[in-house]
Copies of this chain bind each other. A is one copy, B any other.
């Protein structure tokens, strides 16, 4: 490679990608006329060399798509589909279209998102999945690419990104305290996926509420889950094998709470007679489940709307530098039939 302290030129990019400068230029202006493999090599070369596109050209190119990319861990989950609904409404109001990329609970990488942005299919990124590598994301959000990005729902802390979130830890404390207030002392937690930031925050809130009440969390009662109904159902079978069982469980989300309740019922455990359960999200079905589920309501519509609003504001504010936005919304405890005072 040439001396990297010089401002890199299109020749540097071409040399690194082993293509002609005409190909580099075509890959930038009309990516559809270049093979995916070549485009990837050129993108990689731009990243490595730090080549800066002409800002005005980039800005023109950016605005052309009038499209935002929403990357989320699981479209099928009712939580994310209602956030997506709110995002789509706000984007449509502002004249933007919405591309969706399903990341299958973090099984994909930032690499796939680059494809949408480098090919000009999207102008900016609304990221609802906290599992992606912050370094890889920073490549997208800083010069030379500088794609606007807003992180929503699942936090990526300390990386300088714009963020629109709910206070998961505080809300999990509140949910757990509700169980303590009902007299429960043996309290378990049906946790979310390993390495998921929201799962970690809710777990931390659970532990902190117990400690504040002078209760030492029992590691046996941290029941493995992954936010899915089926995992909650499977967790019920493991719950039955515990020698000593909790009288109350805080589930990391409603889907797993419902699966867990369904599994427990098969085992003859009745809620709230034998066990109290709190969920998280307040999915529509929570109110119509039996028993109706006590849960923390996330302000899904507001969250989706604000996330889209923040990203579109950034897109339309091209050129000005903003300090990172950090919006945190509160959740609300909705008490229903799945929690009851500890039987004496």
Contact = CB atoms under 8 A, between A and B. Distances in A.
A229 B85 contact: no
Nearest to A288: B262
Nearest to A62: B32
Given A67-B121, A100-B100, A285-B258, A84 B89 contact: no
A102 B89 contact: yes
Contacts of A30: 64
Nearest to A84: B75
A48 interface: no
Q: Dominant SS at the A interface?
A: helix
A32 B258 contact: no
A290 B288 contact: no
Interface string A85-114: 100110010010111111000000000100
Contacts of A76: 78, 81-82, 85, 284
Interface string A58-75: 000001111100000011
Interface in A101-144: 101-102, 112, 116, 119, 121-122
A293 to B, nearest CB: 12
A100 B122 CA distance: 13
Given A84-B100, A102-B85, A78 B78 contact: yes
A88 B64 contact: no
A326 interface: no
Given A75-B81, A265-B290, A285-B285, A97 B101 contact: yes
A99 B98 contact: yes
A259 interface: yes
A233 interface: yes
11 contacts: A32-B64, A36-B95, A65-B121, A67-B121, A75-B85, A76-B81, A78-B78, A88-B101, A92-B101, A92-B102, A262-B290
| Shortest 8 CB-CB contacts between residues of A and residues of B | A262-B288, A81-B81, A32-B64, A290-B290, A75-B85, A76-B82, A88-B102, A76-B85
